[in-house]
A = this chain, B = another copy of it.
Amino acid sequence: MTTKQRVLLLGATGETGSSILNGLQESGNFDVEVLVRPASVKKPSVQKLQEQGVKIWSIDLDNSTDLTSALTGIDILISAIGPHDLLQQKKLLQTAKNAGVKRIVPCAFITVAPPQGAMLLRDQKEEIYNAIKFLGIPYTVIDVGYWYQISFPSLPSGKVDYATLLPKNVVHGDGTAPNLLIDLRDIGLFVARILCDDRTLNRYVYSFGEVLSENDIYRIVEELSGEKVESTRVSTESIEEAVEKAKAALTLDQEDPMKRIGLYKAQYEYSKYVRQDNTPDYANYLGYLNAQQLYPDFKPRGFREYFTEVMAGTARKVYDS
């Protein structure tokens, strides 16, 4: 009998964190405990985990004694912390190292992008990766592309609006930029495999379901729905201008999370559609391992399969607690 790996998961109630928790539990190879900040412990989502019997550590990240208790005996520390709190991860690293954590999975879980200069969100993650390397802690960076769940257009019939974040159809440039895409629910299934694999130690790994352009997505959506999907075209220049505007807005008000989200969104579009970073080629160039090649037995959900669920009315809208 193999001993299960003990995992401490931060950010378990977010979209990515939930997928990871489910994936690890489903695999049966891990004992997962969850780290939440005291302010979050009474949240329904945390209470629900507690009811399911998940061990919850309610800890202030500035309290290194409590952190040490939570991290002692932990094999793997996974962070799926929110985009506004990325730098908070620094508080965990030295304690995790001292406690002998065998692998840290910092909060990556985004599209493939250059380490510096294209996306503020990625730049902040780089700060954490560098802090991990400075300390020499074994790590794995796992990126996942962009979610199917926020990559489909709405239909004239309004049939899929229940599952849509922003019912506005936009196609960027000529619509041909290829992008790594994934079903949010598959992230955890990939993570469970990656964390049972020594080949992924001290490496970057990209996980994905399919590589599709916006034109591909529209074609599939029209085919499955039988509806003609209209869209607004956005030029490369407009995308670049939107980035500059969002940067200027954030400069004026650095502490406003909405300004920050505005820049993240504009830079995602710049990176995905103008630079075309979020591709297997660029990931390979950057030295990532390809999770589909590592685990050929695992068949991630295709976009067609996902959108069939959306059409059937059984999909779940993300960020909808």
Contact surface of A with B, Cβ cutoff 8 Å: 114-118, 127, 130-131, 133-134, 136, 138, 202-203, 282, 285-287
Q: Can you list 5 A-B contacts (CB < 8 A)?
A: A117-B130, A117-B131, A133-B285, A136-B282, A287-B287
Which residues in B have their C-beta under 8 angstroms from that of A117? Answer: 130-131, 134
Instruction: Give the CA-CA distance A285 to B130 in the complex, in Å.
Output: 13
B285 touches A202 (CB 8 A): yes
Partner of A114, one of B127, B130, B285: B130
Residues of B within 8 A of A286 (CB): 133, 202
**A116–B136 touching, CB < 8 Å:** no
Q: What residues of B have a CB within 8 angstroms of the CB of A202 in the complex?
A: 285-287
CA distance A115 to B118 in the complex (A): 19
Q: Are the C-beta atoms of B287 and A203 separated by less than 8 Å?
A: yes
Kindly report which residue of chain B lies nearest to residue A127, judged by CB atoms: B116
What chain B residues lie within 8 Å of A131 (beta carbons)?
Answer: 116-117
* Contacting residues, chain B, for A130 (C-beta < 8 A): 114-117
| Interface of A, helix, strand, loop or mixed by DSSP | loop
Task: A6 to B115: give the CA distance in the assembly, Å.
Answer: 30
How near does chain B come to A170, taking the closest CB pair, in angstroms? 26
For residue A285, give the distance in angstroms from its CB to the closest CB of chain B: 6
A285-B203 contact in complex given A117-B130, A130-B114, C-beta closer than 8 Å: no
Q: Report the minimal beta-carbon distance from A225 to chain B, rounded to whole angstroms.
A: 37
Complex CA–CA separation, A138 to B282 (angstroms): 11
A136 and B285 within 8 A (CB): yes
* Neighbouring B residues of A118 by C-beta, 8 Å: 134
Partner of A133, one of B114, B133, B203: B114
Closest to A276 in B: B136
B residues near A285, Cβ cutoff 8 Å: 133, 136, 138, 202
Q: Which 8 residue pairs are nearest across A and B when measured between Cβ atoms? A: A116-B130, A114-B134, A117-B134, A114-B133, A115-B130, A202-B285, A115-B133, A136-B285
**Chain B neighbourhood of A136, CB < 8 A:** 114, 282, 285
Smallest distance from the beta carbon of A219 to chain B beta carbons, Å?
28
A138 to B115, CA, bound (A): 15
Task: Name the distance in Å between A272's Cβ and chain B's nearest Cβ.
Answer: 15
B residues near A134, Cβ cutoff 8 Å: 114, 116-118
- Residues on the B chain within 8 Å of A203, using CB: 287
- Residue on B with the closest CB to A204? B287
- Which residue of B has the minimal Cβ distance to A138? B285
A131 to B118, CA, bound (A): 10
Of chain B, the residue at the smallest CB distance from A115 is: B130
CA distance A115 to B116 in the complex (A): 13
A131 CA to B133 CA in the complex, in Å? 20
Extra 13 A-B pairs, beta carbons < 8 Å, given A116-B130, A117-B134, A202-B287: A114-B134, A114-B136, A115-B130, A116-B127, A116-B131, A116-B134, A117-B130, A117-B131, A118-B134, A133-B285, A133-B286, A138-B285, A202-B285
